[in-house]
Structure 1
Amino acid sequence: MLAMVAGWCVALGGTTALDTLASQAFTGGDRPSVSVHLQRCLVLLWLLFLPVAVLWAFIEPVLLFLGQDPALSRDVQRFLRVLLVGAPGYIGFESLKKYLQCQGIMRASTLVLIAAAPVNLALNVVLVHHTPLRWLGAPLAISITYWLCFSLLILVTYLSPTHKRNGTWAGLHLRTVFDIRSCIEFLKLAIPGILMVGTEWAAFEIVALAAGRLGALPLAAQSVIMTTDQILNTIPFGIGVAASTRVGNRIGARDAAGAQRASHAAALLSVAVGFAVMVALMATKDVFGYLFSDDAAVVRLVSQVMPLVASFQVADGLAGSCGGVLRGQGRQHLGAAFNLVAYYVLALPMGITLAFHPRTHLGLRGLWIGQVVALFIVGLGEYAVVWFGTNWDKEVQKGVNRNQEEAKRRQLYEQQ
């Protein structure tokens, strides 16, 4: 949980800046700048991770202050220190993946992950069960896998004929990468992107912790539900990736109408898929829990909460696609603001009150009512911004200005 909320969100959130900058530059007439954006992304995200690395390396006193068990606190610190080895590789992989996706190269990272998955499984089995490392073999296996993914993706990128034809790699441009104004522009997108991802993840982890307070049965049901939702979330996440790339590319190409069509197509597709998933979950709600547990009480509680989880899929789809549109536009700050208000001002207080207040005492259902309300607010709010609150011609002009300024800076450094 700590690794996700207080670490990996730097990679997944920070690289959303490439959704804006690299995707717009790719079709904006200055393709060499795409590789400059990648290099700047790597450098700045590695630097942004340094405070996180310090926290991970010395987190035991923090956990003790928060009242955690001393043995658990010590072991968490040991786990995270080993996981630190893989952090630069993970950031590198996510950055390079975005660099390729902005050019429409979607398969490369998927192929790398398919190749790395069995290696990761083998490493975990060997290091955990057949070495003295025991449980510390797990973070070491993950760290090795992250570096393997990064290395393989570099190789695939180098060999990719599509990448060579695109002409985006223009060599190392360290002086351009460290241009102060360009770094500030990047961080203006990356930091809200980190908040956009981190606030949502943290909210779900708070719900998981709250479910643990309800007892063993609600916690077991919550594990089933969250595992299911994490798998299903890959669908709107994928649509969001496509939306950010397509919208960014159309803005870079000065095609305001095309960017608008792409955004509405993504929203329509995500809602349609969300409804299909919702129907499937509702049709199987009474037996779905048996995929994970033979305990009839767990299956019954999962069945009671499943209507909420099912309706959640529609909102999740809309939020995922519209979030992708906002990233393609360069408006990550709006996504972060929606998440902060929806989850922390409304959903979590509402859900915790419904779950634990003596007059309601809805338990796990109360927690999920709060999450459903939050995501519908986020999804509908972001779609309202896309539908009513976007001047597409203005967004195109902003993209043109970004590309022209970056091109001028790069050419100036090259002349020097």
Structure 2
Amino acid sequence: MDNDTPLLVSNHSDHEQEEKVGIVKEFGIESKKLWKIAGPAIFTAICQYSLGALTQVFSGFVGDVELAAVSVENSVVAGLAFGVMLGMGSALETLCGQAYGAGQIRMLGIYMQRSWIILLVTACVLVPVYVWSPPILELVGETDEISEAAGKFAVWMLPQLFAYALNFPIQKFLQAQRKVLVMAWISAIVLVIHAVFSWLLILKLGWGLTGAAITLNTSWWLIVIGQLLYIFITTSDGAWSGFSWLAFADLFGFVKLSLASAVMLCLEFWYLMVLVVITGRLKNPLIPVDAISICMNINGWDAMIAIGFNAAISVRVSNELGAGNAKIAKFAVVVVSTTSIAIGVVCLAVVLATRDYFPYLFTNSEAVAEETTHLALLLGVTVLLNSLQPVLSGVAVGAGWQALVAYINIGCYYIVGLPAGILLGFKFGFGVEGIWSGMIGGIALQTIILIVIVSLTNWNKEADEAESRVQKWGGGVAAPD
């Protein structure tokens, strides 16, 4: 027996080694699939985020009021519309992704048309917000001068609102088929055109805010037209088969999922935006508001990475659940979570290492720079949490859990995090650091709950539900198995 023991131990050790090599190999394969989606999605998000950012930069060369008008319209009015439209359009991530995984390709075009109908109606509902934005902005504390200028600019930006209504369903339609490179190329070309014409119209020809509105509206519509031309010309491998009356079938069920998606994403999207508004209520708000704005700017650029991973895991989970591959969907969640946490740790390290330097990229004020440096640790923690939290939200969208996550967001963000921040900031006198710390607590709680839910998920059951969902909302397109 003693002579056989080394052989048995050796065989067991070899088997363990083979298993480890197999897992590493599978991790590499899945990681490659994720990056093929995440890479172009991150690039697309950065390009589209840069459209508004560039318009703000050029407007800043015109004057302070013009800069304030564009900044407020971008962050408050268009920010509100962006959150609602992106949220409503995210229902398509679940449905298109699962239909594509199930091989029901033609349904993707039907779903996109249904989403267009719902989002165009939503855009019409949001028009009064643009038209009556001056009193709304005054209500949240903006000065009369800035509110009037931003309100005038908001009315001029109504074409962008309707571009959002078409753009987000198109993007989810293309993402579900992993055609993300098309979006990346179109966004990059439009960004270059936008930069040239912004300089020409706003500065060279001196059209000011009028030039800014023309350029920004045109750029968003160029993105929509470019993507539509690609879909109509190529038929997107059969996913587009023309306009159909089936787009009007089962709109109520579609609206319910769209509203759940909108509530879920808007509650996340607006949460940190509220931080700037609350900070403005402090006794001496100027320096803290400037400092928090710098931090939110950096957090915004970092969020583009998270948006890319959010899109990637949403596509991977929805595709694999639609195809009935529960085990692969679960493994994709592990891979993307590990990858995004690693990136979050790197971003945290970069923020902390440069905390004495990065504020001066945005300000010449020593007081603002010093306050920003004090907030760097909170920014680093936020960046780390926001590396995982959007990924878990992407898993929720891919699996169709929008309504559940909406309730979790309400509880964690607005019943726990926001009141905790207000108490720490105002009642206990910790100021902006207290406000932000309380709100970080809300993000941390939501992340922990989502980790528990994902860990306890029965993925085989989710695959069965995906199959039922594809059949339920097929609208007569797909025949039952």
User: Would the TM-score normalized by the shorter structure come out above 0.5?
Assistant: yes
Letter aligned with residue 98 of structure 1: K
Q: Report whether the alignment pairs 1:199 with 2:267.
A: yes
2:435 is aligned, of 367, 386, 392, to 367
Equivalent positions of 1:276-355 (< 5 A) are 276-355=346-425
Q: Indicate the SS of the match to 1:410.
A: coil
Distance 1:64 1:316, change over 3 A: closer
Question: What residue number does 2:476 align with?
Answer: 409
Distance, in Å, in 1 between the alignment partners of 2:190 and 2:418 is 37
- The alpha-carbon deviation at position 190 of structure 1 amounts to 1.1
Query: What is the identity, as a one-letter code, of the residue corresponding to 1:332?
Result: Q
Q: Which runs of 5+ in 1 are unaligned?
A: none
CA distance in structure 1 between the partners assigned to 2:214 and 2:84 by the alignment: 20
Q: 1:14 to 1:114 in 2, by over 3 A?
A: same
The aligned counterpart of 2:122 is: 48
Shifted more, 289-298 versus 227-236: the winner is 289-298
Distance in structure 1 (CA, Å) of the matches to 2:136 and 2:380: 37
Structure 2: distance between partners of 1:244 and 1:171: 26
Aligned counterparts, 1:77-226, within 5 A: 77-130=151-204, 133-158=207-232, 164=236, 166-173=237-244, 175-179=245-249, 181=250, 183-214=251-282, 215-226=285-296
C-alpha separation in 2, matches of 1:314 and 1:204: 15
- CA distance 1:408–1:155, change in 2 (3 Å): closer
Counting matched residue pairs gives 403
Q: Which residue of 1 aligns with 2:465?
A: 398
1:56-76 Cα shifts (integer Å, max 9, x gaps): 223344455667544444333
TM-score by length of 1: 0.91
In the alignment, which residue of structure 2 is the partner of 1:356? Answer: 426
Amino acid at match of 2:257: L
* Per-residue deviation, 1:405: 2.9
DSSP 3-state at the match of 1:409: coil
Task: Assess, with a 3 A threshold, how the Cα gap between structure 1 residues 213 and 240 changes in structure 2: closer, same or farther.
Answer: same
Taking the aligned partners of 1:206 and 1:308, their CA distance within structure 2 comes to 16
Quick one: which amino acid aligns to residue 394 of structure 1?
A: K
Cα deviation code 1:140-161 (max 9, x no counterpart): 321111101111112333455x
Report SS of the residue matched to 2:324: coil
Would the aligned equivalents of 1:318 and 1:383 in 2 still touch at CA under 8 Å? Answer: no
Distance 1:296 1:65, change over 3 A: closer
Match of 2:25? Answer: none
Question: Is the 1:196–1:332 Cα contact (8 Å) retained in structure 2?
Answer: yes
State the Cα distance separating 1:253 from its structure 2 match.
0.3
How much does 1:284 deviate?
1.9
Identical residues among aligned pairs (%):
25
Give per-residue Cα distances to partners, 1:186-237, cap 9 Å, x unaligned: 2222112111222223222221122233422112211210110000111111
Counterpart-to-counterpart distance in 1, 2:475 and 2:424:
56
Cα distance change of structure 1 residues 232 and 61 upon mapping to structure 2, 3 Å threshold: closer
User: Computing the radius of gyration over CA atoms, which structure comes out larger, 1 or 2?
Assistant: 2
**3-state SS in 2 of match to 1:104:** coil
Q: Given the alignment, which residue of 96, 107, 114 partners 1:33? A: 107
Shift of 1:369: 0.5
Q: Aligned with 1:213: secondary structure?
A: coil
Which AA in structure 2 matches 1:365?
A: E
2:312 pairs with one of 242, 246, 250: 242
Distance 1:297 1:78 in 2: 33
RMSD: 2.1
Instruction: Report the Cα offset of residue 266 of structure 1.
Output: 1.8
SS state at 2:477 partner: helix
For residues 284 and 142 of structure 1, the distance between their equivalents in structure 2, rounded to whole angstroms, comes to: 33
Q: Cα gap change, 1:140/1:341 in structure 2, threshold over 3 Å: closer, same or farther?
A: farther
Q: Does 1:11 align with 2:82?
A: no
Deviation of 1:5 (Å): 4.2
Unaligned runs of 5+ in 2: 1-74
